[in-house]
Amino acid sequence: MENDTKEKREGKDTESSLLNGSLSAKLRLTTTHTTPFTSLITVSTKEERGIKEETQQHIGTDRKRKQKAKDRGREGELKIKIKAEEGSVICPKSKANEKSGLGERDVSSSVLVISRNSPRPLKDITKGQIPQENQTQHGKDIQREKVDTGNTEKKIITEEKEDICELENKTQDRNTNTKISSSASAITINTSKLCASTLASKPPSSLAPVDPLKLKALSMGLSKELKILLIKVESAGRQTFNISEVEEQRIPLSKISIENTATDVIRACKGTRVKEKFKESFLLPAFSVKPSISIETPIPREKLNPPTPSIYLESKRDAFSPVLLQFCTDPKNAVTVIRGLAGSLRLNLGLFSTKSLVEANAEHAVEVRTQVQQPADENWDPSGSAQTWPCESSRSHTTIAKYAQYQASSFQESLQEEKESENEEEGEQVNSSDPSAVGKIIKFGTNIDLSDPKRWKPQLQELLKLPAFMRVESSNNMLSHVGHTILGMNTVQLYMKVPGSRTPGHQENNNFCSVNINIGPGDCEWFAVHEHYWGAINKFCEKHQVDYLTGSWWPVLEDLYSSNIPVYRFIQRPGDLVWINAGTVHWVQAVGWCNNIAWNVGPLNSYQYQLALERFEWNVVKKVKSIVPMIHVSWNVARTIKINVSLHCLMQSIKHIQILRDQLVAAGKKICYQSRVKDEPAYYCNECDVEVYNLLFVTSENSSKKSYVVHCEDCARAKSPLLAGVVVLEQYRIEELMKTYDSFTLVSLTF
């Protein structure tokens, strides 16, 4: 009765002082039954050493009661391992108090054992722990054995106090250099209200050392978890731990959303059994920000050639207006022409003229495309009998100096032909500068790399005059967060053209926006279609047996009009800047002799991010390499791009990583941690070109040269189903990714 009265009094004191608690800890107990715990854990302080002897007398009486309980067939055993580490202790109110409380009692490295029969020494228990290799803090769950009560028909309520396990803790105070003996702190466990459901009668289980290899079976079988939240409170000069929460609610993986924490995601992954490769989209349809465009509603023929949005800047201030950024990136606007931008910003386009290029780097490499000159709105097959979609060209290489000679000679030939035709009749006149001169072979100088800041310093500095959202590099440009160079995307490329030079139909890599400035002196003609219609154009490519993503094609306008697809068509003059919005399908043909410069940008908005991720997943389906490593970029800009689709992508990435990691560990595959270094590029599978993030499957192709190749899981298992000879490298600790995920703050963007 005295013990019961004392326990009730302590319970009231604990409840009244709960708000003053400063420490909480989480304990996991894996069991096949739900066992409610309503007990108090009392930590005796130094002032209570005198009471210790009286307590031990009560313990002797309790042991006799236990022996009688065994005779009545109530023998049971409960063994709990608690490894309280700083990483697993949660202090919702004050971390400072938590650390000081732990330091005074040195429980951060102790192991507590509760046994109904006899206490086991601390050293024996630590021998049975699971090796920590390939485990994170979330994998260090506390184990609990099944309770064998020997009774099949009724619940037994035990009102027996547990043994005291004195923990051999040695603490060294750096200031006083005084050692505190292990008897200075003792932990008393009071389980007078512990309830347990009984199982079928079985012989009493032995206390033989646990085989770590057999512990794996527990995680693979059907199990439940109880989460006990312990809150440290002060009561009458004594420190106690009150159990404020008993049962842990595990969220099914299918119910996990961006509202959950990274810990919830990891826990859900660990509770899910995925036999094959985990496949879930990085996109969520509910987050779509695409404009609603009805392809079913017929569009009158006169409206299938809509006017192209064109902006005329009156001053330099207009170029830096937020309104311009909002207009260009509006999902409804497929393309925007900014007339005379170079003049408004006083850009020296002469730095990109053929003469300046030759003077700067005459021997610089140029890729050449040999094409057949045709009218811009036509595309004839090789026989010239019918219009078609395939637009073939052969590739070769030359230098800036040599192409400059070709460009100049082409212009001189045109002038000569015009002069000779002055005396001819108008009907017989042929102007070679007119693209209608079908059949003439021309050469197009393309993909000239201007990325080297030493070789092209004046040219690149001149482009810094542009508004921030148009620049090659800026903090609000996703491509500036890739961490490495992607030629032609986050660097400038130059194009040297003669009349009829064609850039075939395409969407930009991963649907990113693009900036194109005409240097002159001639014009360019553009065709553009909103991203909404790319699927219909893809079907035309399939019909004409040309690959939409990797092939060369030139749309037949009548095919598009007959399919109710509107086409923007406009002329780009020297000094004009063309902004191609995310996902816009476009194709270009030179009207005169001119040079163009272009690059890609990735505005930090939902529309751009969604389309980039959509194309990333479509490329995986089509087994085409995504030039932009979207998962890598998503993590790099996680603290900058505050949009829902990005957070969902990070959550899906954590799922993929954790489930794959658990599968590898369960199969006994060692995972080696190797952190990334500065400017280390993203990795792609050597076979299928899919992006490989965090968990790299590496093989040595040539042992003598020490060349290593990265594979995705599928391709690695195709070579070796059991991954023999494959090294698995981990570049980020899961805790790092969880921290980034949990620090994410959602904000809404309107553009």
- Give yes or no for residue 723 having a pLDDT over 90: yes
- Give yes or no for residue 619 having a pLDDT over 80: yes
How do residues 140-156 score in pLDDT, each as one tens digit?
Answer: 343 333 334 344 333 33
Q: What pLDDT, on a 0 to 100 scale, did the predictor assign at position 241?
A: 63
- Give yes or no for residue 90 having a pLDDT over 60: no
- Give yes or no for residue 180 having a pLDDT over 50: no
Closest CA to 140 of 149, 128, 150, 129: 129
How do residues 416-473 score in pLDDT, each as one tens digit?
Answer: 888 888 767 555 544 444 544 568 999 999 999 999 999 999 999 999 999 999 999 9
Q: How confident is the model at residue 399 (pLDDT cuts 50, 70, 90)?
A: very high
In angstroms, rounded to a whole number, what is the distance separating the alpha carbons of residues 64 and 98?
Answer: 38
Closest CA to 149 of 181, 182, 125, 116: 116
How many CA atoms does the CB half-sphere of 580 hold within 13 Å? 29
Angle at which helices 354-361 and 400-420 cross, to 10°: 150
CA distances, 657 to each of 265, 661, 693, 720 (Å)? 11, 6, 8, 20
Range from 4-8, 492-496, 693-697 carrying the lowest mean pLDDT: 4-8
Q: How confident is the model at residue 124 (pLDDT cuts 50, 70, 90)?
A: very low
In angstroms, rounded to a whole number, what is the distance separating the alpha carbons of residues 147 and 117?
Answer: 12
Backbone dihedral angles phi then psi of residue 486, each to the nearest 5 degrees? -120, 100
Q: What is the mean pLDDT of residues 13-23?
A: 42
Which helix (H) or strand (E) element contains residue 261?
none
Q: What pLDDT, on a 0 to 100 scale, did the predictor assign at position 152?
A: 38
Q: 635 versus 46: which is more confidently predicted? A: 635
In angstroms, rounded to a whole number, what is the distance separating the alpha carbons of residues 366 and 495?
Answer: 9
Q: What is the mean pLDDT of residues 547-565?
A: 97
In angstroms, rounded to a whole number, what is the distance separating the alpha carbons of residues 291 and 309?
Answer: 17
- Give yes or no for residue 524 having a pLDDT over 60: yes
Name the 3-class secondary structure at 28.
strand
Q: What pLDDT, on a 0 to 100 scale, did the predictor assign at position 217?
A: 45
Closest CA to 150 of 116, 115, 197: 197
Range from 98-102, 542-546, 584-588, 638-642 carrying the lowest mean pLDDT: 98-102
DSSP-assigned letter for residue 167: -
CA distances, 616 to each of 603, 609, 638 (Å)? 17, 10, 18
Highest mean pLDDT among 148-162, 219-233, 309-323, 701-715 belongs to 309-323
Q: What pLDDT, on a 0 to 100 scale, did the predictor assign at position 645?
A: 62
Tell me how far apart the terminal alpha carbons of the chain are, to the nearest angstrom: 71
Name every residue whose Cβ is closer than 8 Å to that of residue 175 and which is 6 or more positions away in sequence: none
- Give yes or no for residue 563 having a pLDDT over 50: yes
Residues 553, 504: contact at Cβ < 8 Å?
A: yes
Q: 736 versus 134: which is more confidently predicted? A: 736
Residues of the chain with pLDDT > 70, as a percent, come to 63
Q: How confident is the model at residue 67 (pLDDT cuts 50, 70, 90)?
A: low
How do residues 155-174 score in pLDDT, each as one tens digit?
Answer: 333 334 344 333 344 334 44
Report the DSSP beta bridge partners of residue 241. 41, 232
* DSSP H helix total and E strand total for the chain: 19, 32
Name every residue whose Cβ is closer than 8 Å to that of residue 166 and which is 6 or more positions away in sequence: 182, 183, 186
Per CATH, the homologous superfamily of domain 301-621 is Cupin (2.60.120.650)
Q: 244 versus 601: which is more confidently predicted? A: 601
In angstroms, rounded to a whole number, what is the distance separating the alpha carbons of residues 655 and 738?
Answer: 11
Is the pTM here over 0.85, yes or no? no
- Give yes or no for residue 187 having a pLDDT over 70: no
Q: What pLDDT, on a 0 to 100 scale, did the predictor assign at position 329?
A: 98
Residues 41, 21: contact at Cβ < 8 Å?
A: no
Structure tokens at 711: 């594979």
CA distances, 508 to each of 132, 222, 612 (Å)? 47, 50, 10
Q: What is the mean pLDDT of residues 594-622?
A: 97
Q: 514 versus 42: which is more confidently predicted? A: 514
Range from 153-157, 600-604, 650-654 carrying the lowest mean pLDDT: 153-157
Q: What pLDDT, on a 0 to 100 scale, did the predictor assign at position 250?
A: 76
Average confidence score pLDDT of the chain? 76
- Give yes or no for residue 333 having a pLDDT over 90: yes
Q: 312 versus 187: which is more confidently predicted? A: 312
Which helix (H) or strand (E) element contains residue 366?
strand 365-372
In angstroms, rounded to a whole number, what is the distance separating the alpha carbons of residues 723 and 701?
Answer: 15
- Give yes or no for residue 20 having a pLDDT over 60: no
CATH code at 629-742? 2.10.110.20
Q: What pLDDT, on a 0 to 100 scale, did the predictor assign at position 232?
A: 67
Structure tokens at 4: 């019961």
Q: How confident is the model at residue 330 (pLDDT cuts 50, 70, 90)?
A: very high
- Range list for CATH 2.10.110.20 in the chain: 629-742
- Give yes or no for residue 596 having a pLDDT over 60: yes
- Range list for CATH 2.60.120.650 in the chain: 301-621
Q: 432 versus 286: which is more confidently predicted? A: 286
- Give yes or no for residue 712 having a pLDDT over 90: yes
CA distances, 450 to each of 457, 486, 578 (Å)? 9, 12, 19
- Give yes or no for residue 655 having a pLDDT over 90: yes
Residues 253, 662: contact at Cβ < 8 Å?
A: no
Structure tokens at 416: 């000569």
In angstroms, rounded to a whole number, what is the distance separating the alpha carbons of residues 732 and 673?
Answer: 8
Angle at which helices 734-742 and 644-666 cross, to 10°: 160
DSSP-assigned letter for residue 335: E
Residues 519, 353: contact at Cβ < 8 Å?
A: yes
Q: 68 versus 694: which is more confidently predicted? A: 694
In angstroms, rounded to a whole number, what is the distance separating the alpha carbons of residues 301 and 558?
Answer: 11
Q: What pLDDT, on a 0 to 100 scale, did the predictor assign at position 182?
A: 37
Angle at which helices 734-742 and 262-270 cross, to 10°: 130
- Give yes or no for residue 192 having a pLDDT over 60: no
